[in-house]
């Protein structure tokens, strides 16, 4: 039971943080042109889009890619050592 409770709390915390990231990204997209000069306008929009994506996909859009790379390197290390 404790594992399930901890899992639920962790998932709720991740959901809350991802919603905050999405909100921050939306705010940067909407007000980026107003808050920053034209030089930083595109940068603020890109940062906003990145924050939205990281919020939607739980912090790392390339998470599965990195996990696969780590697994491959681990397998290669095991093959080399044996």
Question: Looking at the 3D structure of the chain, how many domains does it have?
Answer: 1
Assign 76 a pLDDT band (cuts: 50, 70, 90): low
Mean pLDDT of 39-66: 66
Identify whether the C-beta of residue 68 lies closer than 8 Å to the C-beta of residue 62: no
Identify whether the C-beta of residue 48 lies closer than 8 Å to the C-beta of residue 32: yes
pLDDT of 1 reads 42
Is it the case that residue 5 has pLDDT exceeding 60?
Answer: no
- What is the domain range of residue 56? 2-81
pTM score, two decimals?
0.37
pLDDT of 19 reads 72
Rounded CA Rg of the chain: 19
Two structure tokens written together for 34: 């107003």
Residues 15-48 have pLDDT tens digits of 777 777 777 777 766 666 555 566 566 666 777 7
């Amino acid at each position: 039971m404790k594992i399930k409770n901890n899992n639920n709390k962790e998932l709720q915390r991740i959901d809350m943080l991802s919603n905050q990231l999405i909100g921050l990204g939306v705010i940067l997209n909407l007000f980026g042109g107003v808050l920053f000069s034209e030089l930083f306008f595109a940068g603020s929009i890109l940062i906003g889009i990145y924050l939205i994506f990281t919020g939607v996909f739980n912090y790392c859009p390339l998470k599965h890619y990195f996990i696969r790379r780590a697994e491959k390197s681990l397998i290669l290390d095991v093959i080399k050592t044996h």
